[in-house]
Amino acid sequence: MEYILTADALSKHYGNFKALDRFTMHIPKGSIYGFVGKNGAGKTTFIRLICGLQKPTKGTYTLYGTKNTHKNIGMCRRRMGAVVETPSIYLDMTAEENLKEQYRILGLPSFADIPELLCLVGLNDTGKKKAKNFSLGMRQRLGIAVALAGSPDFLVLDEPVNGLDPQGIIEMRELILKLNREKQITVLISSHILDELSRLATCYGFIDNGRMIKEIGAKELEAACRKCIRIQVSAIKPLTLTLDSMGIDYHILSDTMADVFAKINISQLALALSKQDCDILSVTEREETLESYYVNLIGGARNE
């Protein structure tokens, strides 16, 4: 698999505090990578490192196959666009003026594609309206437009939906999907709003206390979070024997409880169990969310 970005035993210390501690990461080309962790887990520290805003204490990261210690890493970063913490925009300028200023900073020879870029982020009709009069969602989209100046193929977004209203969140989601699917831009999204992230990400990295706890693909995660029926019975052995005979997948939770990963006829199951002097005590439908998966994952990591 080809990776846009990898991190190897990356650490960042502030005195005795370890913001990143032997951190690893692998971002596949073409992916939308959901970077999950609570506030203070180390997400923004990592983003600031790869953007060149800070230097690591130990370890390395590789961007487009070039290590951060190589002299050409600055050229590689020109293929990145980033919105870190808050959009870097001039509030007293219009959207078009903001982009022109960014084009000048990057030394781009022409403003010809600015109208197309404004259209891409949904700001083509803002005219002479200054950014200070934009909604928060509009400012976020302008920040992304600024990050897209120079046509990067890797976009880093730090909490892009934080503070947005429901409509703003939907617009941001649609924009990110459009950039990924139509422009083939690899996207790293740092977020703690897990429900929204689950609508976007193709793979995930879970960070806690500066360490990568787990990296997982969206399909693998979906399988881990699949729907099930939790059945409580008077004895577990008759249930497992019956489910085995029916060829149904299950997971034993205790000597009276199991999760069953299939749609089953409860009446038929109850009849089969009654022949073995086993009673069904309760049946509940369950579906693990990304949030509960994360909580269980972090809780397990801390107890190791």
Which string of b and e fits 244-257 if b means at least 16 CB within 10 Å?
eeeeeebeeeeebb
- Return the SS3 of 231: strand
Residues facing 284 on adjacent strands: 230
Q: Taking the C-alpha atoms of 38, 219, 292 and 240 in order, what is their torsion angle to the nearest 10 degrees?
A: -150
- Return the SS3 of 60: strand
For the chain, list the strands marked E by DSSP. 3-14, 17-28, 32-36, 58-63, 66-67, 80-83, 154-158, 186-191, 203-208, 211-217, 227-233, 250-252, 257-260, 280-287
Tokens matching residue 26: 């692998």
**How many CA atoms, within 13 angstroms, populate the side-chain half-sphere of residue 160?**
31
Q: Over its length of 304 residues, how does the chain's per-residue pLDDT go in tens digits?
A: 899 999 999 999 999 999 999 999 999 999 999 999 988 899 999 999 999 999 999 999 999 999 999 999 999 999 999 998 788 899 999 999 999 999 999 999 899 999 999 999 999 999 999 999 999 999 999 999 999 998 999 999 998 888 888 888 899 999 999 999 999 999 999 987 788 888 899 999 999 999 999 999 998 888 777 778 899 999 999 999 999 998 888 889 899 999 888 888 889 999 999 999 999 999 998 776 788 788 878 875 565 5
Domains, the chain: 3-222 (3.40.50.300), 227-287 (3.30.70)
Residues facing 7 on adjacent strands: 25, 61
- pLDDT for 233 equals 94
pTM listed for this prediction: 0.81
- pLDDT for 221 equals 87
Q: Which of 246, 277, 244, 280 is nearest to 264 (CA)?
A: 246
